[in-house]
Amino acid sequence: MNININDIKNGMTIIIDGNLCQIMEFQHVKPGKGSAFVRIKLKNLRTGAVVENSYNTNIKIERARVEHNPMQFLYSDGANYVFMNTESYDQIEVPESKLENEKRFLKEGLEIQLDYYEGELLGVTLPEKIEFEVIETEPAVKGNTANNAMKDAKIETGYTVKVPLFINQGEKIIISTSDGKYSSRA
């Protein structure tokens, strides 16, 4: 389905210049001289590359229909990550190479979405924030009251994140999956 470039939205999936891309952000620019244009920050869904391009406002672009299948993470056997469809209970193995950034947040039972375009697996959409248990961190040192002081904490997936000094081992914390940073206590 073709749409006018003026009708785009953040998060929309499009085919532009032959590439399957997701719009991360865009800006309509109307310079004093010359015609208006749209500056778009695009993420290539096949390669993961992020580019920023400018386009005339009179072009049409093709909107891509991406299927989002609800899945649950079951386990990893080292080379593959196994997910179960929450409706049909079918199991799907996804190679580790498709989950470079997402694998650090995958824990047993986590509800995610597998994204497909015309039968091709593009990747995983994680929840915006996920709760994890801190399995290893240094105890808080009394008197260390520097503003915004942070320390390392290892969560149940093995990923290490910076947390405030008051977080202790065994506590539950919320991590933002967009930047991999501590968000709050659970």
More confident residue, 140 or 69: 69
What pLDDT digit, counting tens, does each position of 83-98 carry? 999 889 999 999 888 8
Same domain? For 157 and 119 the reply is no
What pLDDT digit, counting tens, does each position of 102-159 carry? 889 999 999 999 988 998 888 888 999 999 999 999 887 666 666 678 899 999 999 9
Residues ≥6 apart with Cβ < 8 Å to 36: 28, 29, 30, 57
Same domain? For 71 and 97 the reply is yes
Among 19, 47, 63, the domain boundary falls at: 63
Same domain? For 21 and 49 the reply is yes
Which residues does residue 180 pair with via DSSP β-bridges, in sequence order?
Answer: none
3-state SS of the chain: helix, strand, coil percent to 5? 5, 55, 40
Percent of the chain residues past pLDDT 90, beyond the cut: 38
Rounded Cα–Cα distance for residues 14 and 87 (Å)? 28
Window from 13-17, 63-67, 143-147 with minimum mean pLDDT: 143-147
- Domain holding 90, by residue range, is 67-125
CATH number at residue 112: 2.40.50.140
Average pLDDT, the chain: 88
Q: Which amino acid is at 34?
A: G
Q: How far is CA 22 from the centre of its chain?
A: 12
Same domain? For 35 and 58 the reply is yes
> What pLDDT is stored for residue 1 in this prediction?
76
Among 45, 63, 81, the domain boundary falls at: 63
Against a cut of 0.75, is the pTM above it?
no
Please state the rounded mean pLDDT for residues 4-19.
Answer: 87
Please state the rounded mean pLDDT for residues 8-28.
Answer: 88
Query: How many structural domains comprise the chain?
Result: 3
Rounded Cα–Cα distance for residues 40 and 13 (Å)? 12
Same domain? For 134 and 181 the reply is yes
CATH number at residue 32: 2.30.30.30
